[in-house]
Structure 1
Amino acid sequence: MLERVLLLALLLSFLIAVLLSPIFIPFLRRLKFGQSIREEGPKSHQKKSGTPTMGGVVIVLSILLTTIFISVRFLSFSQEILLLLLVTVGFGLVGFLDDYIKVVLKRNLGLTSKQKLIGQLVISVLFYIGLIQMDFSTVITIPATTFSFDIGWFYLPFVIVMLVGASNAVNLTDGLDGLLAGTGAVAFGAFAVLAWYADFIDVSIFSAAIVGSVLGFLVYNAHPAKVFMGDTGSLALGGAIAAIAIMTKMEILLVIIGGVFVIETLSVIIQVISFKTRGKRVFKMSPLHHHYELSGWSEWRVVVTFWSIGMIFAVIGIYIEVWM
């Protein structure tokens, strides 16, 4: 029975995203909610200017509607689900405000870094308060070992770093058609499997709903993209995957399963440090996916390669958690 519910969550969220997108995309075009392309970005991206953005609204709506339906019809509104929705919708709202300012108010940088961080911090603290009310364990376990330790009160900054860090890392990955949708589907799929294996049924079904929603969105976001998810989608997905890792007590494993997001973030950090200390760039452009574009790879080749790497990281993560 529960296996069918899991499959239903996947299929329903996929269907909602596929059906909503053709309605939402023309709506965005009429409102002139088109993406502005950075001047310093790859020249090949200039032709994407004007492509509708804020498509992440479809992803968030699909997750929300599917989760509510499944919870009401087959399960119950557990505190875990409510907290996961809080983070996903909350971070999505921060991203929506950022996109709205960029697209509608024509401020290309959107929210300031401080404004965005404040929004992320508020949601992270609310999430932590919800965890404490559940008597949530503050013990951290190292994957593939029996070693664990209780970090006590330090779990609050740990949660904040995870949520804010993951949301920004996932946001950095959203730079090519279908790149984040594909790598996101793989990473959330891995957590759906692991959550099911660890008997976190609610969390597994929620993860499956996200997989379905991003795959449905990918139908329109694959190269050449008809719509971009914008910060609305990327921040929501980043917050969601960190919240799932926390809820399943697989916090450290997120670094492995989200390996592509980690690599993308490290490439930016390395680039900035190298340029500020040596005056030289390590990569032709960061995040890393742009480096390969400027090295002559086609956009589709970069995307498929990163999807494949994401799949390898996901398999490694599942192997470590299940068999080691």
Structure 2
Amino acid sequence: MMEQVIFFTIAAGFLITALLSPLFIPFLRRLKFGQSIREEGPQSHLKKTGTPTMGGIMILLSITLTTLIMTAKYSEPTSMTYLLLLVTLGFGLLGFLDDFIKVAMKRNLGLTSKQKLLGQIIISIIFYLVLRQTGFSTEIHIPLTDFSIDLGWGYALFIIFWLVGFSNAVNLTDGLDGLVSGTSAIAFGAFAVLAWNQSLFEVSIFSVAVVGSVLGFLVFNAHPAKVFMGDTGSLALGGAIAAIAILTKLEILLVLIGLVFVIETLSVIIQVISFKTTGKRVFKMSPLHHHYELVGWSEWRVVVTFWTVGLLSAILGIYIEVWM
């Protein structure tokens, strides 16, 4: 039964995205919704200028349809289902506004950092308030131990930090063709296994729906990319993976399963602190994937290496939770 649910859910998500893309990509081109490439980025990326962006719309549509259809068929939609869709679509809408301002209004930076942060915080607070209405525990489990910490009211701050932090982490990682599509498929796949292990079938179905949807998108997003997901996709995926970690009470384990996203974010933080305090850069460029490009790695080599790191960390995360 489990294998059947997983197969059909992945297949549904994959087909919806894969079938939508050939129709949607030309539509984005006609609207001239092309990506603007930062001049301070790697020079090899300048050839990507004009590649359609906001492809995350296809991912969000596929995730929503697949989740609702497959959950109704194989499980029962619960508050967790709607909470996951709330966060995914909420962060996706915020990313859409950011992308729209960039490509339609020709403001290359999109929303200001304060506007984006405010939107993320508001969505996170709504998520927390709805979650607390269900009597959800405010404890955080420490992996590899029997120890838990009850954060009480501080759990609200933790949720805000986790949702905002990981939505931005995935957003920072989205800088190479197929990088986020592949790493997110791996991370969501890991959480699908862990949610199923906890009998949280609706969470598992949602996770697998994401896997299928991003793999369908990867067909068109792999190097050389025909479309980018934009902030519409990356912010939504980051918020969704954090929400799943919270609902499964595996918040801390997300640091391991989402190790690529964490490392990419840390590379930016380290670079900024180093430059501001010493005037020197630790990396040739941040996030880290650009550093490896500038030392001579091909874009495809960087992406496959990061996918491999993501896969190994996901396997380790499953091993720690299920077998240790």
TM category (shorter chain) comes to: over 0.9
- 2:139–2:150: 8 Å Cα contact kept in structure 1? yes
Secondary structure of 1:149 counterpart: strand
After superposition, give the CA deviation of every residue in 1:9-68 in whole Å (9 maximum; x if it has no partner): 111001101000111100000000000000000000000000000000010000001111
After superposition, give the CA deviation of every residue in 1:293-314 in whole Å (9 maximum; x if it has no partner): 0000000000000000000110
1:277 counterpart = 2:277: yes
CA RMSD of aligned residues (A): 0.8
1:57 counterpart = 2:57: yes
User: How far off is 1:199 after superposition?
Assistant: 1.2
| Structure 2 CA distance for aligned equivalents of residues 73 and 177 of structure 1 | 34
- In structure 1, the residue matched to 2:266 is 266
Q: Map of 1:18-29 to 2, 5 A cutoff?
A: 18-29=18-29
1:33 counterpart = 2:33: yes
- In structure 2, the residue matched to 1:121 is 121
User: How far off is 1:69 after superposition?
Assistant: 1.1
Secondary structure of 1:186 counterpart: helix
- In structure 2, the residue matched to 1:11 is 11
User: How far off is 1:198 after superposition?
Assistant: 1.4
| Structure 2 CA distance for aligned equivalents of residues 2 and 308 of structure 1 | 26
- In structure 2, the residue matched to 1:201 is 201
Secondary structure of 2:124 counterpart: helix
- In structure 2, the residue matched to 1:67 is 67
Letter in 2 for 1:193: V
| Structure 2 CA distance for aligned equivalents of residues 172 and 311 of structure 1 | 19
After superposition, give the CA deviation of every residue in 1:138-183 in whole Å (9 maximum; x if it has no partner): 1111011111121111000000000000000000000000000000
Letter in 1 for 2:303: V
User: How far off is 1:228 after superposition?
Assistant: 0.2
User: How far off is 1:2 after superposition?
Assistant: 4.6
- In structure 1, the residue matched to 2:173 is 173
Secondary structure of 1:282 counterpart: coil
- In structure 2, the residue matched to 1:183 is 183
| Structure 2 CA distance for aligned equivalents of residues 152 and 271 of structure 1 | 34
- In structure 2, the residue matched to 1:220 is 220
| Structure 2 CA distance for aligned equivalents of residues 2 and 193 of structure 1 | 10
User: How far off is 1:6 after superposition?
Assistant: 2.8
Q: Map of 1:104-115 to 2, 5 A cutoff?
A: 104-115=104-115
Structure 1, unpaired ranges of 5+: none
1:88 counterpart = 2:88: yes
- In structure 2, the residue matched to 1:319 is 319
| Structure 1 CA distance for aligned equivalents of residues 71 and 310 of structure 2 | 30
TM-score (norm 1): 0.99
The total of aligned residue pairs comes to 324
Q: Could you tell me the percent identity over the aligned residues?
A: 73
- 2:120–2:164: 8 Å Cα contact kept in structure 1? yes
- In structure 2, the residue matched to 1:242 is 242
| Structure 2 CA distance for aligned equivalents of residues 57 and 171 of structure 1 | 15
| Structure 2 CA distance for aligned equivalents of residues 306 and 76 of structure 1 | 36
User: How far off is 1:3 after superposition?
Assistant: 3.9
Letter in 2 for 1:254: L
Q: Which moved more, 1:253-262 or 1:69-78?
A: 69-78
Letter in 2 for 1:186: I
